[in-house]
Structure 1
Amino acid sequence: MQAFGVWPLKSDSWKGFELGFCSNSISRSGVVERFDLAGSSGFRTTCLSPQISGSRWKSWSEHSFPRFHLFCNPRKNGSFGSFSALALVSKEQTSVCGTLEKDSLPLNQVSEKIQNEDFGGCLQLEGIRNVGSSREEGDGSNSVRGEDNQEDIRGKRHGRIDVKALAKSLHSAKNADDVEEILRDKGELPLQVCSSMIRGFGKDNKLDSAMALVDWLRRRSKDSSGSIHPNLFIYNSLLGAAKEAEKYDVVEKVMEDMVLDGINPNVVTYNILMSAYIQQGQELEALNLFEEISRNGLSPSPASYSTALFAYRRLEDGVGAVKFFVEIRDKYGKDGDENWEAEFSKLENFTIRICYQVMRQWLTKPENLSINVLRLLTEMDKSGLVPGRAEYERLVWACTREEHYVVAKELYERIRERSSEISLSVCNHVIWLMGKAKKWWAALEIYEDLLENGPKPNNMSYELIVSHFNVLLGAARKRGIWRWGVRLLEKMEEKGLKPGSREWNAVLIACSKASETSAAIEIFKRMVERGEKPTIISYGALLSALEKGKLYNEALQVWKHMLKLGVEPNLYAYTIMASLYTSQGKFDAVNSTLLEMKTRGIEPTVVTFNAIISGCARNEMGSAAYEWFQHMKALNIAPNEVTYETMIVALAEDGKPRLSYELYTRAQNEDMVLSAKAYDAVIRSAQLHRATIDVSTLGPRPPEKPKKKVQTRNSLPQLCNTDDVSP
């Protein structure tokens, strides 16, 4: 909508015009309602009524002064818009316009609209008594021309004023002399034209031209004895131009000039200054300036409140913005003023938007501000500010770090409670975040919501929740918590998730680590029954469990069955078989296994020989263990700490204290860190067999190593809340 500035007439008693926005669609109090005079031509009508100096604003019906009617085209893009004609008519034409008058809108509530809207690019001023309208064809644009009148408002007739061209001609003006040179033959220009050009200069970054034009107006004011001088709207336009150009020193100078000219600021002036403070990063100063509006007897406009809210946004003070909005609502909501109902809706939406932006910014900061987000959500609930589903979902996407899981879960629950729909991608994101934060149980609850309430899970949902189960099963595998693994498999099947070989193998390995042979056999059978083909890892875990359970014949049958199915053995499977043959004392079979490994291109490692040596030690074959130790060295396979400790203990228990002592000192020379078990075995064997050794060379007794305990928890929820589980 167009809005227009206020200019003085030649009479000293006239200080400005009171504005109303005339349209049959406007019913706000203080606005003149008017039917569209232009009919189907698409023009709108703006009405202006003068004000007498020293008097209060009056209803138009109380005065007999002339009224101006302005027929405007909609504003076009650019620094300057366009309007067609301005006509002066007397009060007697009221019936022509079909006016329904009410109390006029206070100036401080509409001046902001005047400040922020552009004048037209092409202005025609013709004072007339009777108004007629016609269309002119030519360049494709419509215009409304009035008939010739008997007396012009300035005693002289004016033609069309091309505001755009006039402004462009002033781009090079640097001072009042330059303006005088350009405008010398233009006659007296209406102040609304000057105001429009000044704002355009600000948008075009031509602040020097704007200041030169104002200086020229001030000079003309002195030359014409005050009949034409810069008014409040001229100064507001200049302030806005200086703010646009970010020339804040000019803003201060303009304020000083206003004081010198005796012009008091209005609410638009304060709004511009508040915005300038915010641009400089002085949000607190802007809020302090807002408080001055009421103290100086002015009423803040909706733009004032919006600017103050934006200051809270820049301060990242969402709670302050909410409290500020509540104060506005408590102040004006009780009056039931229809004029403010629409403004409240806009301010409410703006406050919600600000809170959303603040929370999103908090979530992107490196520090953990999750508590701040939750607090702001609570404050919004108390004040009745309810963001929409879209805002909640965008905030969920902003939750990307582990510590954000509590915010994501809260937002997810709010969407579920307040909306019948939720984006599947958002649900998947929350599932992913819960897993990242090691809150797998919470992730499973969200997946259950998808199954029960929708939307239907997709492949991404399935893969995410299965990956979380894999993390839990991986923890079960590492810790040997086989019962937990079994329950996880059952939980997966219960939720319609088909465990793959990876999941089955994790439970098989957990059973093997826990030496639970029967459980491993049962899991292997169930795996085959569910249609999952065992892999070499499956067979290796089963062979290990059978070997630990001393079910050697069954292990040999599994081995042969594996080879029959064409499953290629790996290093781990060969190592298990070598350990199995060692436990039986079948060293020829051990040698055959090592040879077969080489033919398949698999070289034995220190782990392979450690398994053989450990098998000898378990079966009290210390001498055989030492032979394999020597064979290992002959193959240039370096022993590790496990090798030395196993050999030292085996030789000590086999009655060879001197040999175990030598291996202990050799390990020390190789910077091996041995356990207290090996140290005690050497000392005990030397004392038992009365061997002479230099105990001082052994050094101090090593500290005890913590024993690894195999956990057998039965409670799935308890384990799902474990925080130290890692993939």
Structure 2
Amino acid sequence: MERLIAGGAAPTQATYGVLISAEAKAGRVAEAERWLHRMATAGHGAPNAISVNIVISAYAKRSKVDMAEALLRKMPTFGVQPDVMTYNAVLDACARAGEVERTEAWFRNMMAKGPKPNSVSLSFVLQACSNASDIERAESWLEALADASGPYAGVEANAICYNVVIHACAKAGEIDRAAGWIQRMADVNIKPTVNSYSSIIHRLAKTGDMDGAEAWFERMEEEGVEADAVSYNMMLCTCTKASDAPKALRLFKQMQDRGITPNTVCYNLVLNIYARRGDRSRVAACLEEMRRLWVPLDRVTYNTAMKTLVKSGDVEHAEALVQEMWEKGVRPDTYTYNALIAACSRRKDACAAERWFRCFRKDGLEPDAITYGSMVDAYVQAGMVPRAEQMLQEARDAGVAVSAGGYSVLVSAAAKAQDIHRAERWLVAMEESQLEVNSWVYNAVIGACARRGDIARAERWLARIGAGRAQADVASYSAVVHACAKAGDLLRAESWISEMEAAGVPANVVTYNSVINACARCGQSGKAERWFQRMQAGGIAPTLMTINSMIHACSKAGDLDKAERWLRAMRDHRLAPDSVSYCT
């Protein structure tokens, strides 16, 4: 436009109008108003009411009441008089700002000086009352309009006006009051619309009153008012909240059978049902149907579909969905990338996870605790423990509180590799971060110490469980008993069994096998038999390892006859001897 004017051309009123409209729609309202003034002073023709109304409406959408009012008052200086649309735009601004008295004042001004207000004008007055949660005031306006000899004679309320009051009542939880206004509409020969009923259905759905919402939905149809996509959205949402997936799917089919095209929200609700079930084929069919019907796929759509793919570890299709998001201009969010990284982790594909982690950052997003946790898990699954440690340390340095799971996988990996120092370091880091450490994490370290035969170290960690919020379980004690047995320290093994029973933790087959093995190492066949009897008295069936340890105990004690009897006794316990049984 500047170049056009600089070139000596005289833009027409329509040209200015297009520019003013574009600026207003883009949210540059001050710039739009500047062009109004430029048009008025450039001698290219006065602005018309439409251009001014566009700017006032733009101020109204941003609740800039003062600016809207000021521009209305300036209109005569442009050589144009405000019309009913101008005043309605100002009323809209006041209503959005919740300024009831200001809205009412403009309405009364219209009644006194013109132009005469219409039903749209009235709807803004009612909306102002609704926004201010003043139901009584809104109702009083409708009551006043019913008086043919009153001050507002000639202004008629339409369905939109009644719907504003119905919505206000429903929003306040006053369903009976809202229902009363629906009846009043019928009494004055104004047919309730789908929005009249939807306000009540929405409120009931929001409060979890599924039966109530369904009853009003049925009543709406009985009254000859056809449900629309929004009404079905509300019912579908109610069903999904109540975990009634079958009813939600029936409603979705009913909607389609009636020729109502579901919108994005409807499809997202149904997609979520299929995603929870892990039904990949139906998720894929839903997506394809949306594409065929030109229903926009939004970020929720893609992320919901991603759930199913992540559960099955289908990285290829998950990546294809992200590619489609980029092509459609739908920006992936943190959930999208976290889902992809988690899928890569499940496939032990650390390289792919790392690639998506870089895309995550390139997209201007900041990794959160889930991101770092998934990356740590991906590296551990791929056997890249040092890289996993670097990632966890990066999270700590960034002040991101990674969950206990991120630390636990490192402790477990180090313990399995018998790298006790590394396992202990990360377990201590968990404690220092005040994360909840489960007994199995402690057990991983205790087990590593036990396998190495470091009884004192295993005992220290067992004692440390009790000092925290976790409780030692049968695996905790059994690991220490096993360590004692491995070292041939029978008395120490037995004392730990006494301690675990005193703590209310019953021994299991692993515990008994360990102590019987300790007896065998010491050649104490008599004690081994007593522990065996105690095991049976506790209702615990012996395993092949149990009997082999009994044979070993008898053999070491030089009692070959008893050892042979234990070999024959295997059949009584439905066990088959193995090479160890005979070699012993």
Give the alignment's TM-score, normalised by structure 2: 0.46
Structure with greater strand percent: 1
Give the helix-richer structure, 1 or 2.
2
TM-score (structure 1 length as normaliser) = 0.38
Q: Which has the higher contact order (CA 8 A, sep 6+)?
A: 1
